[in-house]
Structure 1
């Protein structure tokens, strides 16, 4: 299924294709503060539709994940695994997908603070 999403102001927009069976709630220092519910997909299933100079990047710790955000409204619509190769993933914040009710999704809790 094809999903569309983006930030609050619309300057960052994307499409992602896949089966949204469940999401991850990570308790690392940034995900807990953002309240993100993440859906992991192969990176090639994520297509940026609009971003311009508005797509910011934030990394911390080991720098393995690039947390993306809109420089205008501050919303974090997705993150990216910065590794190369077939395991390269994108992590979609399902709260930024159009027409999705997060309360209907099964949630897996991930202990990112200990990872």
Structure 2
């Protein structure tokens, strides 16, 4: 299990899966957010403190993904499907975990800006 928390501790997650790698994406939003994504089905991710009063929702482009950010400290927490929030594929920001956990997971670089393929 991987545990993560935003900087102020208001929102946290438990990731109950084993990610084969973490994804560093260079698309316009991920590059600006500085996120490091790990993915699973939403049923494998337990969220604490995340609701509309504690997080800011943002969607752009094709309006398919809902990015959530802590409204207190500004940490980007996750993205989920806008059409089915809390269901299906979800990503959480591995940068919210302890540094030793982050360093133990292989990082792949994804070209979300152009080719939609891994660069490594």
State TM-score, norm by structure 2.
Answer: 0.81
1:16-50 deviation line (CA, Å, top 9, x unaligned): 20013211111111111122111111111111122
Query: Where does residue 98 of structure 2 map in the other structure?
Result: 98
Higher strand share: 1
Tell me if the contact between 1:82 and 1:88 (Cα under 8 Å) persists in the aligned partners. Answer: no
Three-state SS of the structure 1 residue aligned to 2:76 is coil
Q: Does 1:30 align with 2:29?
A: yes
Q: Kindly indicate whether the alpha-carbon contact (under 8 Å) linking 1:26 and 1:32 is maintained by their aligned counterparts in 2.
A: yes
The TM-score, its normalising length taken from structure 1, stands at 0.84
Aligned CA RMSD, in angstroms, stands at 1.9
User: SS in structure 2 opposite 1:95?
Assistant: helix
